[in-house]
Amino acid sequence: MVSERMLGLGTARSVIRELFEYGKQRAAEVGAENVFDFSIGNPSVPPPPQVDEEAVRLLQTENSTLLHGYTSAQGDAGVRQAIADNLNRRFGCRYTGDELYLTVGAAAALCCCFHGLACPGDEFVVSAPYFPEYKVFIEGSGAAMRLIQPDPDTLQLDPAALAAAVSPRTKGVVVNSPNNPSGVIYTLDTLKAAAAVLEEKSREYGHPIYLISDEPYREIVFEGYSVPWLPGLYRDTIVCYSFSKSLSLPGERIGYVLVPTQAADSGQVYAAVAGAGRSLGYVNAPSLFQRVAARCCGLTSDTSIYERNAGLLVSSLRELGYTCVQPQGAFYLFLKTLEADDLAFSERAKEFNLLLVPGSGFGAPGWVRLAFCVQTEMIQRAIPKFKELAQSYREGGAD
């Protein structure tokens, strides 16, 4: 006998991973150059050179017993202070390392938050389209996920929908901007309106409603856009961050939770986040990359290729008659499907070796996601395939 829930999670692969695996299999059949894999959000640019240099320097010069040893459960104190100092310089705050808890990427940061905060009957509100693992993480903590719909044209979070969904059971609201899967950045007005809703509801229900800001894409922002610093807009914000995308280090598993002292019951929340890390067995974030992150947290990979890819995809796809949302950051494009059933559309796209993730898994049927963290040249070669795909609908209609 094993846990039904874990068995289900272990056997039902995520749609994204499934497509990614299919892509590898298909590449073996028809050649990698003939498969146009837009499935997975693996950064396609290398980390800044300082990352490898710093790792090598640490490996060559530091005491290896210490370097590879356990750190404090919440992360090395010097590393946490270095990250806090970087945040202070950028956002004009006065955090200390004691407000940071280092984690195995944003995934662990989110899990620690949900597990640390959730009491029986609690709910977390999430706006579509959303990163599908939220549901797994939230339900894993014993809480329920409450999904709200965005503004249908802009895919911005809809403050009115938020107000309607928040109830006395709401422990928190998750926001992710720049957004995976839409590439949308929530505007200052949207976020201010959301903050006003949460302030009012927290007062009405007599308990804090935490805003959990999931920000792995904070630094991947295209020209003309900016990402507001949420703790500056809403007191009870907890930040979940990852170096996976900004420094192109997804395999190294390094990120953090920031619980600012300004947040309600911050001492308890921080301790509960640490307790969750303990109960989940995370112990401490990878030691070598804690040190690398401390020295490289002010850097970003060269993300200009993502902006170039976004421009190329948007102009080419619109020219072919597709409708899409202009990406403002991250490396995802959300495309309207040419038939109502996005799963069927994704299957049809596979016939042209285009791997596009159905929107249903993101809570957004009728869309597909393209991860454009790929070589620009692959996009150029994929455009004729998108043309054929569109043509197949004009000729045959949807099956």
Closer residue to ligand PLP in complex, CB, 21/347: 21
List the structure tokens of 351. Answer: 């016939």
| Interacting residues with ligand PLP between 23 and 42 (CB under 6 A) | 41
Answer whether 243's CB lies under 8 Å from 297's CB: yes
If binding is defined by CB under 6 A, does position 180 make contact with ligand PLP? yes
Answer whether 249's CB lies under 8 Å from 243's CB: yes
| Interacting residues with ligand PLP between 357 and 376 (CB under 6 A) | none
If binding is defined by CB under 6 A, does position 183 make contact with ligand PLP? no
If binding is defined by CB under 6 A, does position 255 make contact with ligand PLP? yes
Using CB under 6 A, count the residues that bind ligand PLP.
13
Among 43, 75, 208, 250, contact with ligand PLP (rule: CB under 6 A): 250
Closer residue to ligand PLP in complex, CB, 242/287: 242
If binding is defined by CB under 6 A, does position 214 make contact with ligand PLP? yes
What angle is formed at CA 177 by the lines to CA 199 and CA 55, rounded to 5 degrees? Answer: 120
Q: How far is the CB of 216 from ligand PLP (least distance, A)?
A: 5
If binding is defined by CB under 6 A, does position 327 make contact with ligand PLP? no
Q: How far is the CB of 338 from ligand PLP (least distance, A)?
A: 26
Answer whether 39's CB lies under 8 Å from 357's CB: yes
DSSP H helical ranges for 1-132: 4-11, 15-30, 49-61, 64-67, 77-91, 105-117
**Three-state DSSP state, 166:** coil
Q: How far apart are CA 161 and CA 152, in angstroms?
A: 12
- The crossing angle, in degrees rounded to 10, of helices 342-350 and 376-396 is 110
| Interacting residues with ligand PLP between 73 and 132 (CB under 6 A) | 105-107, 131
Answer whether 324's CB lies under 8 Å from 347's CB: no
Answer whether 182's CB lies under 8 Å from 152's CB: no
Cα Rg, the chain, nearest whole Å = 21
Q: How far apart are CA 118 and CA 268, in angstroms?
A: 13
Closer residue to ligand PLP in complex, CB, 108/161: 108
If binding is defined by CB under 6 A, does position 328 make contact with ligand PLP? no
Q: How far is the CB of 176 from ligand PLP (least distance, A)?
A: 5
320: DSSP letter: T
Q: How far is the CB of 113 from ligand PLP (least distance, A)?
A: 12
Closer residue to ligand PLP in complex, CB, 39/242: 242
If binding is defined by CB under 6 A, does position 176 make contact with ligand PLP? yes
Q: How far is the CB of 66 from ligand PLP (least distance, A)?
A: 25
Closer residue to ligand PLP in complex, CB, 36/131: 131
Q: Which residues bind ligand PLP (CB under 6 A)?
A: 41, 105-107, 131, 176, 180, 214, 216, 242, 244, 250, 255
